Amino acid sequence: MVNAEIDCAALVQALPGAVALLTPQLVYTEINDEWLRLLGRTREEKIGSFMPDDYADSPLYHPGAVLVRNVACSHPAASRMTPPS
């Protein structure tokens, strides 16, 4: 396999539906237009911001919430995966 530079911003924009890339700390690094439309925000407002702040069901504010908790739990698991060789 050839190592090629990936344009993550272009990839995220090309995907159907609402897509965002997050750091392990749940900070937005890239967001596509559909995600921004659903949030009603601009890219400048969201890049670098903390994803759980966007959701009323954040466990930071509502202990029984599941969306943000599920994202937070799945993100570390995904980051431990290694690509096939």
pLDDT digits (tens, 9 = 90+) for 39-64: 888 999 999 998 877 776 555 556 55
Q: According to the model, what pLDDT value does residue 46 have?
A: 92
Mean pLDDT computed over every residue of the chain: 77
Q: Are 18 and 32 in contact (CB under 8 A)?
A: yes
Q: Is the pLDDT of residue 84 over 50?
A: no
pTM of the model: 0.66
Q: Are 85 and 36 in contact (CB under 8 A)?
A: no
Average pLDDT over residues 63-72: 65
Quickly state the pLDDT bin for 22 (edges 50, 70, 90): confident
Residues in the chain: 85
